[in-house]
Chains A and B, each alone.
Chain A
Amino acid sequence: MSASPEDTKAFNETWKEPSGFPGGLATVDNIRIGVRYMATAFSFFLIAGVFALLMRIQLAVPDNHFLGPVDYNRLFTMHGTTMMYLFAVPFMEGLAAVFLPFMLGTRELAYPRLTALSYWVYLFSGLTFFSGYLFDMVADVGWFAYTPLSAPAFATSGIDFWLVGLGAAELAGIAAGAELTVSILKLRAPGMSLAKMPLFAWAWLVTAVMIVFAFTTLFVATVLLESDHALGTHFFSDAKGGNHLLWQHLFWFFGHPEVYIIFLPATGIVSMIVGTFSRRLHGYTLIVVGILVTGFLSFGLWVHHMYTTGLPELSLYFFASASLVIALASGTQIFAWLSSLWGTQPKLLAPLLFVLGFMFIFVLGGLTGVMLAIVPFDVQVHDTFFLVAHFHYVLIGGAVFPMMAAVHYWAPKISGRMLSERLGKWSFWLTFLGFNFTFFPMHIMGLLGMPRRVYTYRADLGIDGLNLAVTIAAFVMAAGFLLIAFNVIWSLRYGAVAEKNPWGGDSLEWSLLVATQVLFPRLPVVNSRHPLWNANEPQEPELERLVETLDHRPADWRATVLVNAITGKPEALVRLSTWSYMPFVTSIGIMLVTIATIARLYLLVAAGVVVTVAGLICWLWPDPAETERMQRETLPQETGLPIFTTGAKSLPWLGMLFLMAVFGWSLATLFYSYFYLRLYAPHWPLDGLPLPELLGPALIYGSLLIGAIAAVCAWHRFGRSKIRSQIGFAASLVVGIVFLGLRWADAWYLEVSPRANAYGSIFHMLGWAMDAIVLTGVGLSAAALARSISVTQDWERILAAQVQIVAHYWIFSAASAVLVYAVLYLSPYLI
């Protein structure tokens, strides 16, 4: 039995996406956006690659005059920054956006409009970042931008493009991280329990959570530094109580996980390809444990980038040991893959070649990584070409080779055409040999005393021959990457038409011929780790009946099945948003804010905020016609799956959870900064300022407790008395506004200004963070109030999730207020 023709037609109409211009700006299709992500990221890869070649030309011979120091320093800054922020992570995100719904057996990602927003913000931030070249204002501080070189006293204006462009890119990353986490945990094929999930999804689950925390930390760090530049605060000026090592701690707390954020998805790719080519995968559980351990420990390793800063030796050994545990986690994965391949005589085709190349290079890079974790050795080769060699082994070997394997492996699923195997082999050997001859000699150059980030070197160092060889090899490697790009373009037209499952893979993406707009009109049922290989597993009649009923349905609104995160048991039918121009408009607003910040045009910043907020309101305000269709839907009766859900069964609630996580982690980062600055201050508050007054602020911050109580009451009254709950929302709204007014008035009369010293800076920054949290709460209350007025019937069902969100968010705000009060006002009294 199959779906009725009317349902099929309506279903296809519902899921139809606009295309061309301007329709393409409105699409939320995960495949199209994912492909855009990858294409954009690959373009940035090529640009940054050209930058690398220019640097290699300069270093080909000693005392060369091809580039001056300023140009060279800009090039390595742009090269590193682009590769890390604009290529590696976004490319992986694009791959995930395309293939996760495919592999998980669902129709879309959880927040389709957020996918679109994240892409536009990423694209615009990259363009902003590069636009510095138009104004001859390009950052030259290196990709980790150590203060004070990047602080107002020493940095050139190019730093603004770097900080602001990057800040926006981080927001795009955080959005993608939240979206992918929710999608992986909640939107899977009926029956796909966590233990049956493909390893690519496992790797991405851990990565996505890491992105949320790591990128939020970096975001806060960039806000602090940009605030030093734009507002004159003193987080990083040691004369005013700021601290340079604070930047290093915050940066590497992001920077170390960043490496694994790039590497873990790559291991996911490798697991999928090894599984397919050897027709089995050993050590699934061990691999999952390895991924989890890596993700968790990567947050405890940041100090191993700071061995030479003069920190206490004992603390260094703690970080050294943690670094070595990571070696176990990676070693386990390598041996699990080797075990899977053992004796299965897989065909040595391009994807597998790149995977084997990955193993060779990554093992070497991992071993030099262990060497660098050894404290006394690190102080010798830290910041030399040995380090440059190491991290290119880890990043190109550990991530770019798997990406290229992925391109050969999965491109047919997107384009319907196979890549040329012959060109694939050629490009593998060019990149593999080119890579090793480029980066292996760099280990030796480093040991011979060549520091990184030097635009030239002396002839008497004895490294000129090596440098010349490296430059030649770099061009060979570049030719290999160009050949891959050519192969992709060539295949679009001349490639052999791909079968449904050309490699004999086990995961769900190979059950569909080619990327269509709706991935699974009929959702698959999964009862095995290898759904395509084990078609004869015992069926689950209940789930089969469910997908039968849901075949091409719901027909007139977009929905998919939400499952229990652990068991994969269907729990609800959730609405997925349709295409809209609003993500694009919102991204324009965000871009206005960033560009105006660089130009210091604060009126324009305000205009950008207005556009952003207006975009968000239009974006989030539900379409009444769609709500009506959802109300009429008969599927809840037929399947027992509810539509209007709350809590962990509701996508908006899950999204809100992440917003709270981001705010909460930002506060935690600021608390860390507060106490870090205090730790190094001779006395606190700095400069003999008086201790903060306790009573007035206690009332101001305490007022948020009333807001929270009002919102919770509104939630509990809901369903019984609409008007009473509306009073509750209104009360929380008023409390929020009163808080903002009073806090600003209090801050205005405060003796310490944010520009006075680091104490004033962090004091006010925490206040501003609190404002942002409350402002969001005010917005949520206002929205709930407005919706409760506009929805006249069935409101207790339709608004259930929204009301719950408002209440939970207000509890979060009140809790934040208590913590901020405790840190800002109480902690200075306790010692």
Chain B
Amino acid sequence: MSTLDPAGPAAAKIALLWWVMCGVFAGVFVLVVVLMYMAMRRTRSATPPLGKTGFVIAGGMALPLLVVIPLLIYSLETSLALRQPAGAFTIQVRGHQWWWEVRIPEHGIVTANEIHIPAGVPIRLELTSADVIHSFWVPRLHGKMDMIPGRTNTFWIQADSPGVYRGQCGEYCGTQHAKMSFEVVALTPDEYRAWVDARIAERKKRREVAEPSRGKVVFRQAGCAVCHTVSHFPEATGLAGPNLTHLGSRRMIAAGNLPNTRTELVNWIVNPHTAKPGVKMPATQLPSEDLNALVDYLETLK
């Protein structure tokens, strides 16, 4: 999560800007503190260097201008470099209290809390919100962009090399703002292609075999389907919670907070409020065989 450990061109530009400002301003600060010290010391003359007006004009106006004008020009240059690259591949992200809906329109993929991208190319993001204002932030890749209900902000990220980069909501959005996280998974272009193909194949497979498993029945009867969508599952079209079509293939659950293991999944279903107090998903009490069947089913949703 460190902004000082950039992994993409945008974040690198900003980190460089930070180090330059940090160096220059540390100098200014030390200068002022030294002057404070000298002002308090016994001196030969009670007139500051350059005379009383000269001192004020030099220190209070010339010095800030000398520092600030080049800085403004430099930052403008950085801003231009941070402009949205043209023709980039688009991913849509929609903020919800307290999770992220992720859509890749080109491949018809809908998932949550995990954004797979090819490394080395800029990705265009279309950001909006379903409820309150959130802010999209992956510190190692770029700064923030707000997600505001009723409007769409565009933004972009790029990861230089494959890896997993954590993201976090940057605008206070209610009770579980603290645990509204996600991951950007950057893959090599080949791996990315394979990941997309696997998702498409998975959906296709489900269309062909519509087996009525026990887990599916529980999914419907326990009320999961009211809030969650699973592709090719006619009753599961809820939109309040994350789309679970590819749940089994995700690294994390609970908006980037828990590893996607069987135990965590069970705990999460039985009582999500232990890990994320205030979360909108209700606790679900199920007989253990039902629970096992449900989790078996969820794990097949690759």
Do A and B associate with each other?
Answer: yes
Seen from chain A, the residues whose Cβ lies within 8 Å of a Cβ on chain B are 68-70, 73, 140-142, 146, 148-149, 153-154, 238-239, 243-245, 282-283, 286, 290, 308-310, 313, 317, 320-321, 324, 327-328, 331-336, 338-339, 341-346, 348, 356, 359-360, 363-364, 367-368, 370-371, 374-384, 447-457, 461-462
CB of A342 within 8 A of CB of B60, answer no
CB of A379 within 8 A of CB of B139, answer no
Nearest-neighbour CB distance to chain B for A819, whole angstroms, equals: 29
Q: Which residues of A contact B52 (CB under 8 A)?
A: 282-283, 339
User: How far, in angstroms, from A338 to B4 measured CA to CA in the complex?
Assistant: 35
A306 nearest CB neighbor, chain B only: B146
- Given A149-B174, A333-B60, verify A380-B3 contact (CB < 8 Å): yes
Q: Which residues of B contact A68 (CB under 8 A)?
A: 277-278
8 A-B contact pairs sorted by A residue (CB < 8 Å):
A244-B148, A309-B153, A338-B32, A339-B52, A342-B43, A343-B43, A451-B168, A456-B178
Q: Which residues of A contact B60 (CB under 8 A)?
A: 286, 290, 328, 331-336
New A-B pairs, 9, CB < 8 Å, besides A310-B154, A343-B47, A377-B75: A282-B56, A283-B56, A317-B76, A338-B55, A343-B42, A356-B40, A377-B18, A448-B3, A457-B178
Nearest-neighbour CB distance to chain A for B9, whole angstroms, equals: 12
* Interface-facing stretch out of B21-29, B187-195, B288-296: B21-29
CB of B42 within 8 A of CB of A345, answer yes
- Given A375-B79, A377-B75, verify A382-B170 contact (CB < 8 Å): yes
Q: Which residues of B contact A456 (CB under 8 A)?
A: 178-179
CB of A70 within 8 A of CB of B175, answer yes
Query: Of the candidates B72, B76, B179, which one forms a contact with A324 in the assembled complex, judged by CB atoms under 8 Å apart?
Result: B72
> B217 within 8 Å of A by Cβ?
no
Q: Which residues of A contact B55 (CB under 8 A)?
A: 335, 338-339, 342
Over the window 116-150 of chain B, the binary record of Cβ atoms lying under 8 Å from chain A Cβ atoms (1 yes, 0 no) is 00000000000000011101010100111110111
CB of B144 within 8 A of CB of A380, answer yes
Nearest-neighbour CB distance to chain B for A247, whole angstroms, equals: 10
User: How far, in angstroms, from A313 to B154 measured CA to CA in the complex?
Assistant: 13
Q: Which residues of A contact B170 (CB under 8 A)?
A: 308, 382-384, 451
> B63 within 8 Å of A by Cβ?
yes
CB of A448 within 8 A of CB of B47, answer no
CB of A342 within 8 A of CB of B25, answer no
User: How far, in angstroms, from A484 to B179 measured CA to CA in the complex?
Assistant: 39
CB of A310 within 8 A of CB of B151, answer yes
- Given A339-B52, A375-B79, verify A363-B177 contact (CB < 8 Å): no
B171 nearest CB neighbor, chain A only: A383
> B13 within 8 Å of A by Cβ?
yes
Nearest-neighbour CB distance to chain A for B300, whole angstroms, equals: 30
CB of A338 within 8 A of CB of B3, answer no
CB of A342 within 8 A of CB of B172, answer no
Query: Of the candidates B57, B58, B65, B143, which one forms a contact with A379 in the assembled complex, judged by CB atoms under 8 Å apart?
Result: B143
User: How far, in angstroms, from A65 to B45 measured CA to CA in the complex?
Assistant: 60
> B270 within 8 Å of A by Cβ?
no
Over the window 98-128 of chain B, the binary record of Cβ atoms lying under 8 Å from chain A Cβ atoms (1 yes, 0 no) is 0000000000000000000000000000000
CB of B3 within 8 A of CB of A447, answer yes
Nearest-neighbour CB distance to chain B for A383, whole angstroms, equals: 5
Q: Which residues of A contact B131 (CB under 8 A)?
A: 148, 153-154
Q: Which residues of A contact B222 (CB under 8 A)?
A: none
Q: Which residues of A contact B137 (CB under 8 A)?
A: 451
Q: Which residues of A contact B18 (CB under 8 A)?
A: 371, 377, 380, 447
CB of A377 within 8 A of CB of B171, answer no
Which residues of B, 22-52, contact A by the 8 Å Cβ criterion? 25, 28-29, 32-33, 35-36, 38-48, 52
User: How far, in angstroms, from A376 to B4 measured CA to CA in the complex?
Assistant: 14
User: How far, in angstroms, from A339 to B48 measured CA to CA in the complex?
Assistant: 6
A383 nearest CB neighbor, chain B only: B170
User: How far, in angstroms, from A367 to B68 measured CA to CA in the complex?
Assistant: 10
CB of A342 within 8 A of CB of B72, answer no
User: How far, in angstroms, from A33 to B41 measured CA to CA in the complex?
Assistant: 41
Count chain B CB atoms within 10 A of each CB in A290, A334, A457 and give the residue with the most. Answer: A334
CB of A370 within 8 A of CB of B172, answer no
> B173 within 8 Å of A by Cβ?
yes
> B231 within 8 Å of A by Cβ?
no
Query: Of the candidates A239, A321, A454, which one forms a contact with B72 in the assembled complex, judged by CB atoms under 8 Å apart?
Result: A321
Query: Of the candidates B2, B58, B173, which one forms a contact with A448 in the assembled complex, judged by CB atoms under 8 Å apart?
Result: B2
Nearest-neighbour CB distance to chain A for B143, whole angstroms, equals: 3
Over the window 50-92 of chain B, the binary record of Cβ atoms lying under 8 Å from chain A Cβ atoms (1 yes, 0 no) is 0011011111110111001001100110110010000000000
User: How far, in angstroms, from A313 to B155 measured CA to CA in the complex?
Assistant: 13
Q: Which residues of B contact A336 (CB under 8 A)?
A: 56, 60
Task: List the 4 closest pairs (A to B, CB-CB), nearest first.
Answer: A449-B1, A379-B143, A238-B150, A332-B60
Which residues of B, 256-276, contact A by the 8 Å Cβ criterion? none
> B11 within 8 Å of A by Cβ?
yes
CB of A149 within 8 A of CB of B144, answer no
CB of B25 within 8 A of CB of A383, answer no
A461 nearest CB neighbor, chain B only: B1
Q: Which residues of A contact B249 (CB under 8 A)?
A: none
Nearest-neighbour CB distance to chain B for A313, whole angstroms, equals: 6
User: How far, in angstroms, from A762 to B226 measured CA to CA in the complex?
Assistant: 38
Nearest-neighbour CB distance to chain A for B129, whole angstroms, equals: 9
User: How far, in angstroms, from A282 to B55 measured CA to CA in the complex?
Assistant: 10
CB of B277 within 8 A of CB of A360, answer no
> B237 within 8 Å of A by Cβ?
no
Query: Of the candidates A363, A378, A453, which one forms a contact with B32 in the assembled complex, judged by CB atoms under 8 Å apart?
Result: A363
User: How far, in angstroms, from A670 to B135 measured CA to CA in the complex?
Assistant: 28
Q: Which residues of B contact A146 (CB under 8 A)?
A: 132-133, 171-172
CB of A377 within 8 A of CB of B135, answer no
Nearest-neighbour CB distance to chain A for B28, whole angstroms, equals: 6
Nearest-neighbour CB distance to chain B for A208, whole angstroms, equals: 25
> B283 within 8 Å of A by Cβ?
no
User: How far, in angstroms, from A382 to B57 measured CA to CA in the complex?
Assistant: 32
> B17 within 8 Å of A by Cβ?
yes
Q: Which residues of B contact A450 (CB under 8 A)?
A: 1
> B159 within 8 Å of A by Cβ?
no
B35 nearest CB neighbor, chain A only: A338
Query: Of the candidates B48, B56, B172, which one forms a contact with A142 in the assembled complex, judged by CB atoms under 8 Å apart?
Result: B172
Q: Which residues of A contact B144 (CB under 8 A)?
A: 308, 379-380, 382-383
Nearest-neighbour CB distance to chain A for B37, whole angstroms, equals: 10
Q: Which residues of B contact A342 (CB under 8 A)?
A: 38-39, 43, 46-48, 55
CB of B33 within 8 A of CB of A332, answer no
- Given A69-B277, A324-B72, A331-B61, verify A309-B21 contact (CB < 8 Å): no
User: How far, in angstroms, from A461 to B18 measured CA to CA in the complex?
Assistant: 20
Q: Which residues of A contact B7 (CB under 8 A)?
A: none
- Given A142-B172, A344-B46, A383-B171, verify A70-B277 contact (CB < 8 Å): yes
User: How far, in angstroms, from A335 to B51 measured CA to CA in the complex?
Assistant: 12
User: How far, in angstroms, from A450 to B33 measured CA to CA in the complex?
Assistant: 29
